[in-house]
Amino acid sequence: MMRIPPPSPAIANPVRRTAPGASASVLIVVLWVTVGLISITLYFAGSMGLELRASGNRAAAVAADQAVEGAARYVNWALYNFVTNGTLVTNSQFICEALPIGESKVWIIGRNSSGTVATEPTFGLLDEGAKLNLNRANSNALVALPGMTADIASAIVDWRSTNGTLSLGYTSLGYSAKHSPFETVDELRLVYGVTLEDLTGDDANRNGVLDTNEHSLTGSREATPGLLESTTVFSREPNFHSDGSSLTNINTRAQIEALLTDTFGTTRGRQIVAQLGFTPRNNPNFPSLLRFYLSSGLSVDDFIRINPNISNTTNTYTYGRVNINTASREVLTALFVGAGISAQSADSAASTLVSYRQQNPTSLATVAWLVTALGRTHPVVTTLAGRDLITTRSFQYTADIVAVGPFGRGYSRVKFIFDLSDGAPKIIYRQDLSRLGWALGERIRDLTVAMNTP
């Protein structure tokens, strides 16, 4: 029998031989694939983390926006409850600083009225009646404001005048002068020659103080106000009671006699009427409540009793009066200059009035305090008596509301102007100021950062 020889070892156990280094190449490829997958994983993880944080920031921004709206409703409630006869009553329940609304906090930026230089913002409502009315102030008053020039004052008057006569370069700007009353203070941006510095002074973010990134125009530590700070178009005072009935006209004998006899009794009431100069053949005309007070012989306390009920006109509203209880020294000076007082006398009188206000905060109920502070024969008193320029009541208030969202993220700032001249408060103007940047000062910024840093 034939025997089959066994297979050779090379055929029975074939061995595949690889080139040197092939295994290392495979390992490197595997490692690169692994690194790529890890990189992709980390990239998407990082993207998701960033997106999560971004969504958190967006949610905080929305929360801040909604907190501003909530604060506006809060201010509306406060004005409805705390304003009496055009006077804002200080009330401890009305919170203007770090007011919590949901997880956000809200501040209402005000102005420092202490007479000292403020380095951090103060908080509270702003009185529109404390400013010059752009549609009423003459060029002499406007040019007396800080940083103003005669050319700009004339351009402002020309802009609002229905028969403006100045030939200014509006054609080169692509539009024409309005030649009708200002509807907002922001229209000043369109007036020929007005610059951003004229509008804001050195307070770029309009919070009332010089922040570290702002530079003084005068070299002082105090912010120099611009036109946006010292002018308004919203000062309007009603000549009727809350029930809609008209106030007593001091220039109508029957009306004023009825009020005086009802308040002081028949005999004394008629004596006051005679003191005022009313006779069967004479019906004096009082151009202002200040002139009426000076002529009446009434004491300050007696004048306070009738003041909420009297007016010197039959018009539904009186426009453009300046509230001497709240106006700044600069605005008072400009008002007096516009009435014909010399700049030096006007500034001296304004300083005296500001000092008197600070020392006698409970004695400012009527314009009679002007006489107490300056004297009956002072040029400012006698001049203002002949012009209907001043008041101690205001019916328009600004709430400059700033909100910071949850965890110190999200920022919103909106300026609201509320009008109470028709009774219940209503918003007549709003402007988003978030673009102006942080307005709460370094102290609140550092506190916010510290509270939200792990």
Q: Same structural domain for residues 80 and 205?
A: yes
Q: Same structural domain for residues 333 and 310?
A: no
Q: How confident is the model at residue 255, as a pLDDT? A: 95
Q: Same structural domain for residues 306 and 322?
A: no
Which burial class, exposed, middle or buried, applies to 362 when counting CB atoms under 10 A from its CB (0-12, 13-18, 19+)?
Answer: exposed
Q: Same structural domain for residues 188 and 273?
A: no
Q: In this predicted model, which residue has the larger pLDDT, 369 or 167?
A: 369
Do the domain assignments include residue 424? yes
Do the domain assignments include residue 20? no
Average pLDDT over residues 122-129: 94
Q: Same structural domain for residues 245 and 124?
A: no
Do the domain assignments include residue 131? yes
Tallying the residues shown for the chain, one arrives at: 454
Q: Same structural domain for residues 128 and 42?
A: yes
Of 297, 314, 331, the residue at which a domain comes to its end is 314
Do the domain assignments include residue 14? no
Of 282, 297, 314, the residue at which a domain comes to its end is 314
Of 314, 348, 368, the residue at which a domain comes to its end is 314
Range of the domain at 199: 25-239+315-454
Q: Same structural domain for residues 393 and 323?
A: yes
pLDDT tens digits for range 199-208: 998 999 999 9
Average pLDDT over residues 426-433: 97
pLDDT tens digits for range 356-407: 999 999 999 999 999 999 999 999 999 999 999 999 999 999 999 999 999 9
Do the domain assignments include residue 13? no
Q: Same structural domain for residues 140 and 267?
A: no
Do the domain assignments include residue 17? no
Using CA atoms, how far residue 200 sits from 157, 226, 308, 387, in Å, is 19, 4, 36, 30
Q: Same structural domain for residues 233 and 370?
A: yes
Q: What is the mean pLDDT of the chain?
A: 90
Q: Same structural domain for residues 298 and 418?
A: no
Do the domain assignments include residue 18? no
DSSP 453: -
From CA 446, how far away is CA 45, in angstroms rounded?
32
pLDDT tens digits for range 48-57: 777 667 777 8
Question: How many separate domains does the chain show?
Answer: 2
Q: Same structural domain for residues 201 and 268?
A: no
pTM score: 0.87
Query: Cβ distance 224 to 218 under 8 Å?
Result: yes
Do the domain assignments include residue 433? yes
What percent of the chain lies above the pLDDT cut of 70?
A: 94
From CA 120, how far away is CA 447, in angstroms rounded?
13
Average pLDDT over residues 137-142: 96
Q: Same structural domain for residues 298 and 410?
A: no
From CA 372, how far away is CA 365, in angstroms rounded?
12
Average pLDDT over residues 134-162: 94
Query: Cβ distance 145 to 201 under 8 Å?
Result: no
